[in-house]
Amino acid sequence: MAIFNRGGRHARAENTPIPTEVASGSTSGPYDVADAPDDVQRLDLGSMQIPAVPGVEVRVQAGPEGVVQQVVLGEGPSTLQLIVVAAPRSEGIWDEVREEVGESLRSQGAQLQEGEGPYGVELLARVPTPNGPVDLRIAGVDGPRWMVQAVFQGPVATTPSSAPLLGECLRGLVVDRGNEAKPVKEPLPLRLPKEVAAQGQGGAAAAPSPEPEPPSDEPRRRPSPRPRS
């Protein structure tokens, strides 16, 4: 797990104002790489570029070959997991994906309802775990030939204002879909930044994750959200 601390643990969310134009959503993303502002420092993970926001910790889990398997942003006790997948050119897929995610969560015994969020309809879930129920808020953003799935967990799932910097990261996210043809809903490839991958090969900055679970009978489906312990 490679950890990128943007501003350190002592940077407090309540002391970091969000620009009015971003908070209002009038000039916000997630952006396609062709339309993204070029004056923002970002962590380049290949198909996903995450804005450097002080007070937010970026946790990247990568396999032995440097392929990123999971991206989680942390602000205090709240987290945001980001997943980006391929979508067709002609239409968005969040409505369909939302139904699939809901079915998956129900199979885990979750209580579900839908709510309206900054990006449209969101899923609100309370998922039973061995350590007690966990609240999730799952948003989807359709872009040109891609879709971002954002899974909020912790206090931010029920009170978005408790972790405003995570919302800022989502608004500033950049997706680089590339031109290669991909099956719909296939996760877009992610990688460690070159300098981090090089250090990881020496065992310094990035530790390989455990062996991935065997593929299911639907290997190209984007991963379903699961509560983080």
Distance (Å, whole) CA 136 – CA 105: 10
Please state whether beta strands 31-32 and 174-175 pair in parallel, antiparallel, or not at all (unpaired): parallel
Length of the chain: 229
The pLDDT > 90 percentage for the chain reads 66
Can you give the pLDDT at residue 27? 54
Question: Cβ neighbours of residue 113 under 8 Å, at least 6 residues apart?
Answer: 123, 124
Distance (Å, whole) CA 6 – CA 75: 10
Query: With 80 as the cut, is the pLDDT of residue 31 above it?
Result: yes
Distance (Å, whole) CA 13 – CA 160: 12
Comparing 105 with 1, the larger pLDDT belongs to: 105
Give the tens place of pLDDT for each residue, 80-96: 999 999 999 989 999 99
H or E element, residue 103: helix 94-107
Comparing 39 with 136, the larger pLDDT belongs to: 136
pTM, two decimals, is: 0.77
37 preceded by a cis bond (ω within 30 of 0): no
Give the tens place of pLDDT for each residue, 106-160: 999 999 999 999 999 999 999 999 999 999 999 999 999 999 999 999 999 999 9
Query: With 50 as the cut, is the pLDDT of residue 196 above it?
Result: yes
133 preceded by a cis bond (ω within 30 of 0): no
